[in-house]
Structure 1
Amino acid sequence: MEKAIEQDIAIFWLRRDLRLFDNAALYHALKSGLPVQVIFIFDRDILSSLPDEKDRRVAFIHAQLEKLNAQLSEFGASLLVLHDLPKKAFEKLIFEYPVKQVFTNHDYEPYARRRDKEVQELLEANEVRFYTFKDQVMFEKAEVMKPDGTPYTVFTPYSKKWKERLQKESVPEFPSEDHLSNLLKMPKKPVPSLKDIGFEEVDPQVPDVNLSEGLIKQYHKNRDFPYTEGTSRAGIHLRFGTVSVRRLVKQALKQNETWLNELIWREFFMMILYHFPHVEHENFRRKYDRIEWRNNEKEFELWCRGETGYPLVDAGMRQLNETGWMHNRVRMLVAGFLCKHLLIDWRWGEAYFAQKLLDYELASNNGNWQWAAGTGCDSAPYFRIFNPESQLKKFDPKLEYVKTWIKDFRAGYLEPIVDHKFGRARALEIYKKALN
């Protein structure tokens, strides 16, 4: 934005919605009657917490911003990218430019809620209206609740209610792409380089989302086998909003209920985090606070490196370390192995995944780790303990996945760090002791 701008403007603040199509807040901004300036803020608080200067998630965001800037330039507009604390960024914006309205989409994580409250208070104190919209989920906050008005804490009844509500309502559309002529006209400005914001250039190596009809229709048959390309790889694209969840739900409704259930699981965990924010750092079920975790640092390091002696566990961890992604079935196994066989606190594994996963998303990562540990909102008892050997025979019988990620694999390649029967018995004993 140039200081020569005298007309009143609206700002659309990009966050977890890095697209110009079917975007709720952008749609409402473009319909506001004011020319719209699109901004993105590289949040210093968030960036400073990242341990790796070659973070591929930051590189992915950066690449998306470059694409968006090119798309905006086709309409005579430009993206404005700031590197600051959000409150400070808006202090500068409203001081320098005639901002009357700010539009953005809801974010449900505890940090994001604190950030948005702070920004809203600043804007309203300066007579700038702050509008937020539902965009990254179909149903949010208290929209799917028990008949008594309390949150669901078990997935199956939640999903049933979710589907009932969706049947009564049509999937909304926000064709923001049809109104881009209402953007503020200005010369194209460059996006700051990764180096400018303290990161190194790196190829994000993010696969495109695969929404082919063939894959989605066969999803329920293929999703458990890590040696096949049976999953959509939609996780990172949902995380950063480069796809619209509404379009995915429409496709799932037509093509595969199992895939629809995966989208509902994502919203279930977001609802849990919203209503029970303590789960970010604590057990959902407080009675599990008494578990005596072993927290052996050497065993944790072997787990991180993929050197436990269990092929499917090790292949999964090596895939994660090398690519930033791991097959969903294998995620369940490696998480359960850490918590049950090694009796290492789920928070250690959750933090490692948060550091490594390209599709890291707080609510889902936390919910799935607590599911694996038995401490979360799950109706199954704590004694569900996967056998890594039988899982291998069932889901990678020809060792195709294992040999892809363990390059020098051979039978007995490493001595298992714990015997399965011993580890299972020890876990049952420790859990039972904690709960009695």
Structure 2
Amino acid sequence: MPTVNIFWFRRDLRLQDNAGLYHALKSNQPVLPVFIFDTNILDQLEDKSDRRVEFIHAALQELQEQLVKMGSSLEVYHGTPLSVYKTLLAKYTIEKVFTNHDYEPYALEREKAITELFKSSGASLHTCKDQVLLEKDEVLKDDGKPYTVFTPYSRKWKAVLNEFHLKPYPTQKYFANFYKQLPVPIPSLKDIGFNIVDAPFPSKDLDKELVKKYQEQRNFPAIKGTSKLGVHLRFGTISIRALATASKDLSETYLNELIWRDFYHMILWHFPQVGKGKAFKAQYDTIEWRKDNGEFERWCKGQTGYPIVDAGMRELNATGFMHNRVRMIVASFLTKHLLLDWRLGEAYFAQKLLDFDLAANNGGWQWAAGSGCDAAPYFRVFNPYLQTQKFDPQLVYIKKWVPEFQEFSYSQPIVEHEAARKRCLEVYAKALKKE
């Protein structure tokens, strides 16, 4: 059997500036690139037209084109990682498997099972930092404990970060070390049980003029004020190091968004319970959320009678994207106006967002609900009407997604704002034993 080392692509679907791939290519054996369509994940996706799967598939085809030109090939499997690695161990003598860190609870369980499997074969698993700039214990308080408030974390982050952390990994110098073989066909979307939607994805090119104006424009959903690079960061089709390097001198506000991303991954690492359905602040798990009586479905469909909320939900359902400011508005509305459990919204976003990332999604939802680290205080209840006046004053965004909002056919408000606010404050105060 051929002896190889494997690079296991996961959230890092690129050849350039890829930490784990760099270390694999510098190792002592030819490198076999592998990707697994993990059925433990895919089987949970009810929508078989999930555009994230299509995005991954398109990224794999791009990788394959590059690898074939080098006389190599990606091997793409469909199954559980354990079953796939049993197949690979029967096909190759594997010394080492390289991959990049993933901080999510399922990913850690998966790695533990693979490591156990490898014990009998002599293979070993090696992981590297790649998807964030600073991770785990790299940014800690002076007492050695993790930060739970963003602003002091960001100050320390900026003090710790140096050119070394931004330096790209020159993988291209070692491309000759890929395992040589004829092209191995990639399974089609149909082969793995998914459909082609064939809608365009956001460009992975950074618009530097947009980044320069990010501070002024980022809160207005009707204009192109955000980079929409989230999906590319999520699946690693661009390098976080390259993005930070390109943007750090253009906009501190934009850089802060990348720091928030590191912050939420650090929180997930140190407080893994947040990724398993628990509130970061345990006392918030005592809130008596209302039983849903059909209001959640109206929220999902964009039929709440609040135009800015409905516009956001309809944009999400149609495109897999929602503007950042609107994400805060719709999350606050679900948790504060409707008093429905934030986990319902977290799960819906997980199902719909192209750029879904457990750490950031959980962090955002717990921020909105007040239950998270560095969260909005429980008594902060976004007023959808004031948010509209501030951030969509000409109603351009609303008219695009809710064209009927001024007609008799449009939904009546699902709840009255002041009454909802009062109810929210009473229920939260009761649970948290505050005035």
Give the TM bin, normalised by the shorter chain: over 0.9
Q: Secondary structure at the match of 2:303?
A: coil
1:287 to 262, 283, 289: 283
The equivalent position to 1:406 in structure 2, one of 402, 409, 412, is 402
Partner of 1:113: 108
Secondary structure of the residue that 1:293 maps to in structure 2? Answer: coil
Conserved 8 A contact 2:76-2:187: yes
What SS is found at the alignment partner of 1:254?
A: coil
Give how far 1:408 is off: 2.7
**Mapping of 1:238-257 within 5 angstroms?**
238-257=233-252
The alpha carbon displacement at 1:182 in A equals 1.3
1:389 is matched with which residue: 371, 380, 385? 385
Corresponding position of 2:341 = 345
Residues 224-373 of structure 1: pairs in structure 2 closer than 5 A:
224-280=219-275, 281-373=277-369
User: Whole-Å Cα distance in 2 between the matches of residues 197 and 47 of structure 1?
Assistant: 9
Partner residue, 2:421: 424
Partner of 1:376: 372
Distance (Å, rounded) in 2 between the aligned partners of 1:240 and 1:333: 26
Alignment counterpart, residue 63 of structure 2, candidates 65, 68, 71: 68
One-letter code of the match for 1:114?
Answer: E
Match for residue 152 of structure 1 among 147, 154, 158: 147
Which runs of structure 2 are paired with 1:43-54 in the superposition (5 Å)? 43-54=38-49
Report the secondary structure of 1:87's partner residue: helix
**1:129 counterpart residue number:** 124
The answer to whether the 8 A contact 2:165-2:241 is kept is: no
Q: Using a 3 Å threshold, how does the CA distance of structure 1 residues 173 and 54 change in structure 2: closer, same or farther?
A: same
Question: Structure 1 residue 137: deviation in Å?
Answer: 0.6
Query: Which digits, 9 at most, give the CA deviation of each residue in 1:96-149, with x for residues without a partner?
Result: 212211111111000000101111222233111321100001111111111111
User: Would the aligned equivalents of 2:202 and 2:229 in 1 still touch at CA under 8 Å?
Assistant: no
Runs of at least 4 residues of structure 1 off by over 6 A? none
TM-score by length of 1: 0.96
Instruction: Report the AA paired with residue 105 of structure 1.
Output: N
**Matched-pair contact (CA < 8 Å) for 1:25–1:104:** yes
Report the CA distance between 1:169 and its aligned residue: 4.6
Number of matched pairs: 431
CA distance in 2, matches of 1:168, 1:25: 19
RMSD: 1.3
Query: Do the aligned partners of 1:83 and 1:197 also contact (CA within 8 Å) in 2?
Result: yes
Question: Where do residues 25-36 of structure 1 align in structure 2 (5 Å cutoff)?
Answer: 25-36=20-31
Instruction: Indicate the residue corresponding to 2:85 in structure 1.
Output: 90
Query: Hey, what's the Cα distance between the residues in 1 that align with 2:422 and 2:190?
Result: 51
Worse-superposed segment, 23-32 or 123-132: 123-132
Q: Which moved more, 1:116-125 or 1:102-111?
A: 116-125
- 2:72 corresponds in structure 1 to 77
Q: Distance in 2 between matches of 1:120 and 1:137?
A: 23
Does residue 1:163 correspond to 2:176, yes or no? Answer: no
How many Å separate the matches in 2 of 1:7 and 1:198? 32
For 2:3, the aligned partner's letter is: D
CA distance in 2, matches of 1:275, 1:36: 33
Please give the alpha-carbon distance, in whole angstroms, between the structure 1 residues aligned to 2:37 and 2:194.
Answer: 12
Q: Report if the CA contact (8 A) 1:341-1:420 is conserved.
A: yes
SS at match of 1:297: coil
Q: Deviations over 1:283-308 (max 9, x none)?
A: 11011122111132311111111011
Flag the 1:92–1:7 CA change in 2: closer, same or farther, 3 A.
closer
Listed one character per residue, the Cα deviations across residues 159-206 of structure 1 (whole Å, up to 9, x for unaligned) are: 111110004755232111232121111111110011111112222532
Contact 2:222/2:397 (8 A) holds in 1 = yes
Distance 1:217 1:109 in 2: 33
| TM-score (normalizing by structure 2) | 0.97
Distance change in 2, residues 1:89/1:204 (3 Å): farther
CA distance in 2: counterparts of 1:87 and 1:389, whole angstroms: 51
Please list every run of 5 or more consecutive structure 1 residues that lacks an aligned counterpart in the other structure.
1-5
Change in CA separation of 1:210 and 1:410 when aligned onto 2, cut-off 3 Å: farther
Paired with 1:172 and 1:85, the residues of 2 have a C-alpha distance of 34
User: Which one is further off, 63-72 or 195-204?
Assistant: 195-204
- Identity across aligned pairs (percent)? 56
Unaligned runs of 5+ in 2: none
Q: Aligned match of 1:23 in 8, 18, 23?
A: 18
Classify 1:318/1:345 alpha carbon distance in 2 versus 1 (closer, same or farther; 3 Å). same
Query: Does the 8 Å CA contact 1:124/1:130 hold for their aligned counterparts?
Result: no
Instruction: For residue 284 of structure 1, give the secondary structure of its aligned residue in structure 2.
Output: coil
* Equivalent position amino acid for 2:295 in 1: E
- 2-structure distance, mates of 1:172, 1:334: 38
CA-CA distance at 1:316 after TM superposition: 0.3
Aligned to 1:3: none
